[in-house]
Amino acid sequence: MSKARRVPGTARTCPHCNATILDSASVCPACRHHLRFDAAPGVVQTSTPLRIDGTIRHPTAGVAVEYSVVLAIHDGRGKELSRQVIGVGALRPDDERTVSLTVEVFTPGDSSGPVNGKSRH
């Protein structure tokens, strides 16, 4: 199978969990299943420019409260590009949940270049 050069940002569906992932991913960031085992360079993580950890606690004694974790992505002009409910649940008195958000930035590898010092034919 001939691999054409990948277009950065192209998405596909993980065959294991159906999450939308980058086409260049060799491991699904959602379910962590391996997607390809070839020696071709996929992507190189270049930085983690954003990581937020936070804990939510039941606000008062008494009845349970419900929560929704919502993720929204906006462009530089403020236009909403994507909005998803990541999870929902309930907090009972004395319950807490920790939420972590990480943005990882990748540089797509060149799938047409040499692999392990050898040229592809």
Which range, of 22-26, 92-96, 108-112, averages the lowest pLDDT? 108-112
CA distance 67 to 50: 23
How would residue 119 be classed by pLDDT, with cut points 50, 70 and 90? Answer: very low
Q: What is the mean pLDDT of the chain?
A: 80
Tokens encoding 120? 């592809």
Tokens read off for 54: 């936070």
Listed residue (118, 120, 119, 114) closest to 41, CA to CA: 114
Hunting for tokens 């319950």 — which residue is that?
95
pLDDT at 7: 76
Gap between the Cα atoms of 16 and 28, Å rounded: 9
CA–CA distance, 100 with 105 (Å, rounded to integer): 16
